[in-house]
Amino acid sequence: MNIWLFQADPKYYNIEKRVSPRLLEDWCPRVHLHEMEKGDKVILWQSGPKGGVYAFGELAGKPYKAKGEFRVDLRSELLKQPVFNSNVRSS
């Protein structure tokens, strides 16, 4: 089992507004596609001024090609309180 860090730029994708435990999300991984497996764990990181870990999830399958790019489905759940970058660095 692997653990992956997926990053979202809040200009294009706001994790807090989009992630729901009831929904299957698809993400666009760029590297290590052939290493990703169903059941791998995922950490969702929001970049920017309020950067940090916002959710944890799990891959629902292997990456696949759709509309000319690779995608991977995952189920995730928001943390009650994000772990902000500033808190990680001060620890």
Report the half-sphere exposure of 33 (CA within 13 A, side-chain side).
12
Whether 43 contacts 5, CB under 8 Å: yes
Those residues with Cβ within 8 angstroms of residue 34's Cβ, 6 or more apart along the chain or in another chain: none
The pLDDT tens digits for 11-34 are 988 888 888 777 888 889 999 999
- Length of the chain as a residue count: 91
Q: What is the CATH number of the domain that holds 30?
A: 3.10.590.10
Nearest in space to 74 (alpha carbons), one of 7, 17, 21: 21
The pLDDT tens digits for 30-53 are 999 999 999 999 999 999 988 999
Domain housing 63: 3-90
pTM: 0.87
